[in-house]
Structure 1
Amino acid sequence: MSSITTSEANRLLAAAQNGQDDCLGQLLQMYLNYLKLLARTQLDRKLQARTSASDVVQDTLLEAHRDFDKFRGSCPEQFLAWLRTILTNNLGHIIQRHVLAEKRDVRREVSLDDIGATLERSTARLVAIIADRGQSPSADAQNHEASLLLADALAELPDDYRDVILLRHIEGLAFPDVAARMERSAGAVRMLWMRAIAQLRVRLESRGVL
């Protein structure tokens, strides 16, 4: 299944670069869930009350469509890196507008490099969920197709299942902290996490990732 994802991404990218606009739309759609997942990890609760990950990603995809002629890469991995750059810039603008605007006297500046590095770490944690113990998460994070398939599988989970996995694995919180965030007992969160992981594994197996 993952090899199909890779070949399809290559086909759509080549067609888009040859001027087939419908293929560009299909290509961008392949990255929707992945970008939403990354954006969500960068928006704290205060920012989520003012904007949503979906809105940020929608703006990112619209910009990518508009500026596709500026993309100079030749493979899906480079295209994804380009999309992450656009997403990083949009997240930086949101932080400037909603957070730093309240502290203009301090004159703090948003570091896009810091946001980009955080996104890269989130990507590594995302793929590390499915990494075998003998695999290197840093090497596995370079697996373009596994990242997309995992993001799609997570998007299919019920909200509470997806939340507990994101808090535990993407944000790296301990179970007591996850429980506090989800306003549940630690025991209830552990049980929820076990069910969520089992559901995620089923979906990944159906995609040929595991």
Structure 2
Amino acid sequence: AEDLAQDAFVKVLNHIDKYSPEFKFSSWLFKIANNVAIDHLRRRKLDTISMDGSPHATTASEVEASSLELVSEQESALDEMEAKELGSAIERAIAALRPEYRACIMLRHVEGRAYEEIAATLDLPLGTVKTYIHRARHELRKALEPLRQ
């Protein structure tokens, strides 16, 4: 990951003259980093692995501390455990999506980006972004259906 980040920043420096100020710099940077990661995966055909063991991952105590802040005093331990299980199930369902669907969902629902910005960031037509998000939501709904019962 560090090598890919370094490669992305080298590409940014080498192509800074191609940056257009009409777009957000963060979107342009994300697009380059995304392309570097996709190129790496295509070239190496690597299996993806969990970030849980990464030194950059949030520690269990940090997660626990942040989730304790969100839990009201009236919420029981059972409710808290169910919420954590649901969160884990959602993360697994998102991780199981096709990479292009996952990227669109993360940009839309985690980062709160507009459809147009996602299209520019991923260099996709607007209609394709909307289709990917629709299909990803459908797949997530199917994957999470057993939890709704």
* TM-score, scaled to structure 1: 0.37
For residues 142-157 of structure 1, the aligned pairs below 5 Å read: 143-157=83-97
SS at match of 2:112: coil
Q: Pick from 165, 171, 182: which aligns with 2:111?
A: 171
Question: AA paired with 1:59?
Answer: S
1:78-97 equivalence runs, <5 A = 80=60, 82-84=61-63
Q: What's the counterpart of residue 112 of structure 1?
A: none
Mind listing any 5+ residue stretches in structure 1 that lack a counterpart?
A: 1-43, 65-79, 86-115, 125-139
Does 1:198 pair with 2:130?
no
Aligned equivalents of 2:92, 2:50: Cα separation in 1? 18
1:181 to 117, 121, 138: 121
1:161 corresponds in structure 2 to 101
Q: 1:55 to 1:148 in 2, by over 3 A?
A: closer
Q: 1:55 to 1:143 in 2, by over 3 A?
A: closer
Structure 2 residue identity aligned to 1:155:
A
State the aligned residue count: 97
Gaps of at least 5 residues in structure 2 are 1-28, 38-48, 71-79
Secondary structure of 2:54 counterpart: helix
- CA gap of 1:185–1:199, structure 2 versus 1, over 3 A, is same
Structure 1 moving runs of 4+ over 4 Å: 46-50
Q: How much identity, in percent, do the aligned residues show?
A: 24
Q: Deviation at 1:60? A: 3.9
The superposition leaves residues 7-29 of structure 1 with CA deviations (integer Å, 9 ceiling, x where unpaired) of xxxxxxxxxxxxxxxxxxxxxxx
Native 8 Å contact 1:149 1:209 kept in 2? no
Alignment TM-score, normalising by the size of structure 2: 0.50
Please list, as runs of the form range in 1=range in 2, the aligned pairs for 1:108-127 lying within 5 A after superposition: none
**Aligned partner letter, 1:58:** G
Q: In 2, Cα distance between the equivalents of 1:152 and 1:55?
A: 10
